Amino acid sequence: MVKRMATTTDGKIVVVITGDPVPEVRRERGDFGAIFAEAIGEHAPGYRSIDARIEPVEVADEELVVITGSSANVHKREPWMLQSEDALRDIVARGVPTLGICFGHQLLAQALGGDVQKNPRGREISTVEVTRRGEDPLVDFLPRTFLVNACHKDTVVELPPGAEVLGDSPLDPHQVLRFTPRCYGVQFHPEWDDFIMRAYVAGRYDAMVEEGIDAEERKSVAQDTPDARRIFRVFLERMTS
């Protein structure tokens, strides 16, 4: 049984939902709100969620923002994405602590003046190795290389002004970005465990075969990534303390 924390309307962490999990994950673990409640755990005084696809993103100065992943594509510029980008520019300008994850990472980059497109290096999926670059409290505690769970076809191809790279991988040079001292993005999923990663590999299996990716090898390497999860916890602890 997965322990989940109930949402509150007056919490200090806002989870901006931009998509839905693959069916197996949704059946077993719930929607992204439930998955992030589990990942937040005791490190959060409470949280509330906003579905950016159907409601405006409104965040108070005393809150903290986490933007989820999605199967949507930032470069398709759908109306809800543009509205969310407007809101995120204001949120970041006000100094509200913000963390974008996968699609959320890309949405922040686009909102702040960067560019997101289909990754010319191809799909990155399953457990992969990231190399730490630069120095920042968000990653300073990590080993030089660490494992993360990733699933994406798009990438940040052009950084926004002032953004700094804190981590990269062979298929993505912008795995960890510091947009401002209080705003970060990670291309991977620190909230995923081995079950979720394997479910995504299974859900993308046929597509990987069509793209010439060794799907069985990607399935075999999927695992827990505690260092990636610690990045999420460190962000929460630093920004809510």
Question: Quick check: is 142 in a domain?
Answer: yes
| Range 74-108 burial, b when 16+ CB lie within 10 A, else e | beeeeebbeebbebbeebbeeebbbbbbbbbbbbb
Residue of 63, 85, 124, 191 marked catalytic: 191
Question: Quick check: is 7 in a domain?
Answer: no
pLDDT (0 to 100) of residue 1: 25
Burial class (CB in 10 A: 0-12, 13-18, 19+), 193: buried
Separation in Å, CA 57 to CA 18, 67, 152, 219, 221 = 11, 10, 24, 36, 37
Pair 210, 175: CB distance under 8 Å: no
Number of domains in the chain: 1
pLDDT (0 to 100) of residue 10: 47
Question: Quick check: is 219 in a domain?
Answer: no
Structural domain boundaries, residue 92? 13-192+225-240
Question: Quick check: is 217 in a domain?
Answer: no
Question: Cα–Cα distance between 60 and 62 in angstroms, integer?
Answer: 5
Across the range 142-166, mean pLDDT stands at 98
Residue 24: which CATH number? 3.40.50.880
Q: Dig out the tokens for 137 from the structure.
A: 């409290």
Residue of 85, 102, 105, 124 marked catalytic: 102
| Chain segment 70-127, per-residue pLDDT in tens | 999 999 999 999 999 999 999 999 999 999 999 999 999 999 999 999 999 999 999 9
Pair 64, 96: CB distance under 8 Å: yes
The predicted model scores a pTM of 0.93
Q: What is the mean pLDDT of the chain?
A: 93
Question: Quick check: is 214 in a domain?
Answer: no
102 labelled catalytic: yes
Residue of 105, 152, 174, 189 marked catalytic: 189
Please provide the DSSP assignment of 21-54 as one string. Answer: --HHHHHHH-SHHHHHHHHHGGG-S-EEEEETTT
Question: Quick check: is 79 in a domain?
Answer: yes
55 labelled catalytic: no
Q: Which of 205, 149, 152, 147 is nearest to 19 (CA)?
A: 152
Question: Quick check: is 216 in a domain?
Answer: no
Question: Quick check: is 3 in a domain?
Answer: no
